[in-house]
Amino acid sequence: MSDSALPGEKSPAARNMFAALQLDTRLLGMIGAFVVLCLVFNFVTDGRFLTPRNIFNLTIQTVSVAIMATGMVFVIVTRHIDLSVGSLLATVAAVMAVVQTDILAHPDVLGLGHPAIWVLALIAGVLVGVAIGAFQGWMIGYLGIPAFIVTLGGLLVWRNVAWFITSGQTIGPLNETFTMLGGIGGTLGESASWIFGILAVAMALWLQIASRRRKASHGFPVKPAWAEITLGLITSVAILGFVAILNAYHIPAARLRRMFEAAGETMPEGLQVGYGIPYSVVLLILVAVAMTVTAQRTRLGRYIFAAGGNPDAAELSGINTRFLTVKIFAIMGGLCALAAAVASARLGFSTNDIGTLDELRVIAAAVIGGTALSGGVGTIYGAILGALIMQSLQSGMAMVGVDAPLQNIVVGVVLVLAVLVDIIYRKRTGD
């Protein structure tokens, strides 16, 4: 068994330093590609791409697809596929819109603008999403219908169930609190964003220290101290830098003045207030953390990856792979519901064509993020980064003024190229 080594292009010392950091080289490659992409767009657009404003917009545009992409990782890891996510999103968006505008807002129920409407609508949506996902998972796991077929059927069915529910009308305007989930309409503000950032840094560092202690207590080799400190610094700077950028996007003066007027106060001259982290991004971060913990630290996650690596082995180890399939698709359905909330809140309405082609964006994000269609391999952060790369490409090209057909051609080519690079990488590392 040879320790598959890369052709030695780096000096041994440099490679040792890299090895000590124990970084995921695939992740680094993706981050590298993303940085290059941003720099190129920034150069071509004369610095308009990497402004706080554009970065803010990029993040809120990515959220809906990124939330679903984390679920798609589980689906693809277990060698399934879900083509119905875009349609499922539409159905759930329609349900949530009808629940909040027609049912809950009715004077006999809660009445227009009741503070509980948004959360009740969201719960209803998540329940519907989980139920539909579990139903599709049941057909795949227990009836043995291939996921491709079940969800291809779902693609047609749920798109038109949405149409049926709304009679093809655009439903809205949605509840005001609910629309705060959409992005620019609901942000933490500067101080809360800083607190959130500092808590996140504290959490990350604590996890790092706890992991090191645990390893040391079992007598396992640990990274050298300088490597740990470097990693801790990188994480902290990345988190706080992100907060700083989102805080640097200021609420336009006219809008700020209106907000002060609405509160019956006058705006002090020269006041600048940053938006901070949008609620939708907070939601994405919570989803990402929950899904990563599930993937790496729970039995469910372990079984998902085992079933993806060798379904027979999983079965023979006493894992109920059928029920596992139901759970995976139920999670996917729940995440579609969250994505539907964000997407419809961002528009302020539930439209008939909401989420169209999202299934392709979501699958592409997961695959660009390193999820292997052959199963068993994939990461949550990879999928989110994949979604971000896709969105950056799309918005960057739009800013540069690339024609619409060319934009889609480029995105398609990038998807195929990303997978090719991944295949070559895996062959080289024997991974």
Partner 1 sequence: METPLVEMKNMSISFGGVRAVDNVTVDLFPGEVVGLLGHNGAGKSTLIKILSGAYKADSGEILINGEEVHIHSPRDARSYNIETIYQTLALADNLDAASNLFLGREMTTPFGFVDDDAMEAETRKIMGRLNPNFKKFHAPVKALSGGQRQSVAIARAVYFNAKILIMDEPTAALGVHETQMVAELIQELKKQGLGIFLISHDIHDVFQLCDRIAVMKNGELVGTAKTTDVTDDDVLGMIILGKCPPGATPGPGALVEEAAAS
* Shortest distance in whole angstroms from residue 308 CB to partner 1: 7
Residue 119 binds partner 1 (CB under 8 A):
no
Cα angle vertex 46, ends 40, 52, to 5°? 85
Residue 317 binds partner 1 (CB under 8 A):
yes
* Shortest distance in whole angstroms from residue 320 CB to partner 1: 8
Choose, by CB under 8 A, the member of 218, 254, 266, 268 that binds partner 1.
218
Residue 144 binds partner 1 (CB under 8 A):
no
Task: Give residue for tokens 């082995």.
Answer: 313
* Shortest distance in whole angstroms from residue 318 CB to partner 1: 4
* Shortest distance in whole angstroms from residue 311 CB to partner 1: 9
Choose, by CB under 8 A, the member of 112, 113, 148, 214 that binds partner 1.
214
16 vs 429, beta carbon nearer partner 1: 429
300 vs 414, beta carbon nearer partner 1: 300
Choose, by CB under 8 A, the member of 58, 139, 162, 314 that binds partner 1.
314
State the Cα–Cα distance between residues 422 and 418, nearest whole angstrom.
6
2 vs 167, beta carbon nearer partner 1: 2
* 124-to-91, 92, 93, 101, 338 alpha-carbon distances in Å: 12, 9, 10, 13, 11
Q: Which residues are registered as beta bridge partners of 171?
A: 350
8: left (phi over 0), alpha (psi -120 to 50) or beta: beta
Which residues 294-313 are close enough to bind partner 1 by CB under 8 A?
Answer: 296-299, 301-303, 305-310, 312-313
* Shortest distance in whole angstroms from residue 146 CB to partner 1: 22
* Side-chain-facing half-sphere of 46: CA atoms under 13 Å: 0
Choose, by CB under 8 A, the member of 1, 225, 254, 263 that binds partner 1.
1
* Rg, Å, the chain Cα set: 23
Measured over the CA atoms of residue 88, residue 89, residue 95 and residue 99, the dihedral's sign is: positive
The site that binds partner 1 (CB under 8 A) totals a number of residues, namely: 33
Residue 10 binds partner 1 (CB under 8 A):
no
Q: Which stretch binds partner 1 (CB under 8 A): 30-38, 198-206, 213-221, 248-256?
A: 213-221
Q: Burial, 71: exposed, middle or buried (Cβ in 10 Å; 0-12, 13-18, 19+)?
A: buried
* Side-chain-facing half-sphere of 289: CA atoms under 13 Å: 9
State the Cα–Cα distance between residues 155 and 356, nearest whole angstrom.
10
Phi then psi for 257, rounded to 5 degrees? -65, -45
State the Cα–Cα distance between residues 85 and 71, nearest whole angstrom.
10
DSSP assignment, residue 34?
Answer: H
State the Cα–Cα distance between residues 74 and 382, nearest whole angstrom.
12
* Shortest distance in whole angstroms from residue 184 CB to partner 1: 37
CA 381 to chain centre: 8
Q: How many helices (H) and strands (E) does the chain have?
A: 17, 0
Residues 342-381, mask of contacts with partner 1 (x by CB under 8 A) = ----------------------------------xx----
* Shortest distance in whole angstroms from residue 144 CB to partner 1: 16
* Shortest distance in whole angstroms from residue 5 CB to partner 1: 13
173 vs 430, beta carbon nearer partner 1: 430
Residue 215 binds partner 1 (CB under 8 A):
yes
Which residues 266-295 are close enough to bind partner 1 by CB under 8 A?
Answer: 293
Site residues (vs partner 1, CB under 8 A): 1, 4, 214-215, 218-220, 293, 296-299, 301-303, 305-310, 312-319, 376-377, 430-431
